Amino acid sequence: MENRNLDAALSPVILGIESSCDDTAAAVVAGGRLRSTIVSSQHIHTVFGGVVPELASRAHQQLVVPIVEQALHEAGVRREDLDAIAVTYGPGLAGSLLVGLSFAKAYAYGLDIPLIGVNHLEGHIYSVFLNEDGPAFPFLCLVVSGGHTQLVLVEDGFRHTILGSTLDDAAGEAFDKVAKLLDLGYPGGPVIDRLAREGNPTFHDFPRSRPGEYDFSFSGLKTSVLYFLNRFSEEERRAFLKDHLADLCASFQQAVVDVLLAALERAIVATGAREAAIVGGVSANTRLRRSAGDLARKLGVRLHVPAPIHSVDNGAMIAMTGQFKLAAGITSPLTLTAQPNLSL
């Protein structure tokens, strides 16, 4: 038993579970290395052009057991080998969070191992430690997802200072809403990213708003895409999009990238940060990754961006955050409840 405890301290085996929105995901991290990661995206929501909470929660119920079993199997780990279970407890959809959290609590109780509640946004921030070479603390982190857009100074010991946030839509939400205007389906980010590769980013100059030094606002940008399209009759619009859909996507995307990176640049200069990170679903964006790389070279900072599969929601980032928390002695009681509005 003593040896087992020593092993656990040196190289804990942690199962991470994520079910805050429409992805059911589980992963195993052992000794700081990712051993498996399984994500099941719920395609049912595509039909509705957005996530339907009740359907998401029902799908999580069906998927959580097989996804966890697959993650353990692919990692070559038995349940009894687990040292802790990390799980997202907020922010997110209440019904979705409840499924993953209830499962994790029961599993931790049954195996008599610690439960570690993870804030989904912390999970995104710590996703950069899944890279071969993670950042040193403190680092500046731009969190850009479907629900959040925040610029955060991350210090060791789970201390975060929020420098700025979006005042309205999140960056990913802007991608999703503009994609909906263009009938491109859900989620919109990956589709716009792909189409924009063939388009001209200077085709139309959409507004770049700057509501504060480090704050963001994307609802005006979304509205200006709407107004741009409303100038056309139905027939003209069809003809225009036939020729210029890629240009429109590229121009919109460029406006989002410019706004995000301008705030990041101001923050790097003002804080003198040497390390910066971009995380969350939108950090999968090709243009953002490329331009952020250019910015980092210009400013001489080390930039950390997760692999695209770790940018979007996944269980690996939750398991990795769990590992940091366990090492810091932070665990959660089995009375932990889902917190849909949890902030950093």
- Footprint on this chain of ligand KG4 (rule: CB under 6 A): 21, 145-147, 172-173, 175-176, 187-190, 193, 280-282, 284-285, 312-313
The rounded distance, in Å, linking the Cα atoms of 289 and 282 is 9
Among the listed residues 202, 219, 190, the one whose alpha carbon sits nearest the alpha carbon of residue 288: 190
Query: According to the binding rule CB under 5 A, does residue 145 interact with Zn ion?
Result: yes
**Helical H runs in the chain?**
2-10, 53-75, 94-111, 120-126, 171-181, 188-196, 219-230, 234-271, 286-299, 308-311, 316-327
Smallest gap, in angstroms, from Cβ of residue 311 to ligand KG4?
Answer: 7
Rounded to the nearest 10 degrees, how much is the dihedral formed by the CA atoms of 93, 264, 254, 226? 50
Give the chain's end-to-end CA distance (angstroms, integer).
Answer: 37
Handedness of CA 109, 78, 25, 67 (dihedral sign): negative
Smallest gap, in angstroms, from Cβ of residue 27 to ligand KG4?
Answer: 14
Residue 188 binds which of ligand KG4, Zn ion, none (CB < 5-8 A, kind-dependent): ligand KG4
Structure tokens at 297: 């070279």
Structure tokens at 96: 């979705």
The pairing of strands 84-90 and 13-18 is parallel
Residue 122 binds which of ligand KG4, Zn ion, none (CB < 5-8 A, kind-dependent): none
Q: Among residues 117 and 281, whose Cβ is nearest to ligand KG4?
A: 281
Query: According to the binding rule CB under 5 A, does residue 314 interact with Zn ion?
Result: no
Q: 262 near 214, Cβ under 8 Å?
A: no
Q: Among residues 96 and 145, whose Cβ is nearest to Zn ion?
A: 145
Q: Among residues 179 and 182, whose Cβ is nearest to Zn ion?
A: 179
Query: According to the binding rule CB under 5 A, does residue 173 interact with Zn ion?
Result: no
Residue 175 binds which of ligand KG4, Zn ion, none (CB < 5-8 A, kind-dependent): ligand KG4
How many helices (H) and strands (E) are present in the chain, helices listed first? 11, 10
Query: According to the binding rule CB under 5 A, does residue 313 interact with Zn ion?
Result: yes
Query: According to the binding rule CB under 5 A, does residue 119 interact with Zn ion?
Result: no
Smallest gap, in angstroms, from Cβ of residue 280 to Zn ion?
Answer: 6
Query: According to the binding rule CB under 5 A, does residue 283 interact with Zn ion?
Result: no
Smallest gap, in angstroms, from Cβ of residue 2 to ligand KG4?
Answer: 41
- Name the segment binding Zn ion (CB under 5 A); options: 168-176, 189-197, 312-320, 331-339: 312-320
Q: How many CB atoms lie within 10 A of CB 95?
A: 18
Smallest gap, in angstroms, from Cβ of residue 327 to Zn ion?
Answer: 23
Smallest gap, in angstroms, from Cβ of residue 125 to ligand KG4?
Answer: 11
Q: Which residues bind Zn ion (CB under 5 A)?
A: 145, 313
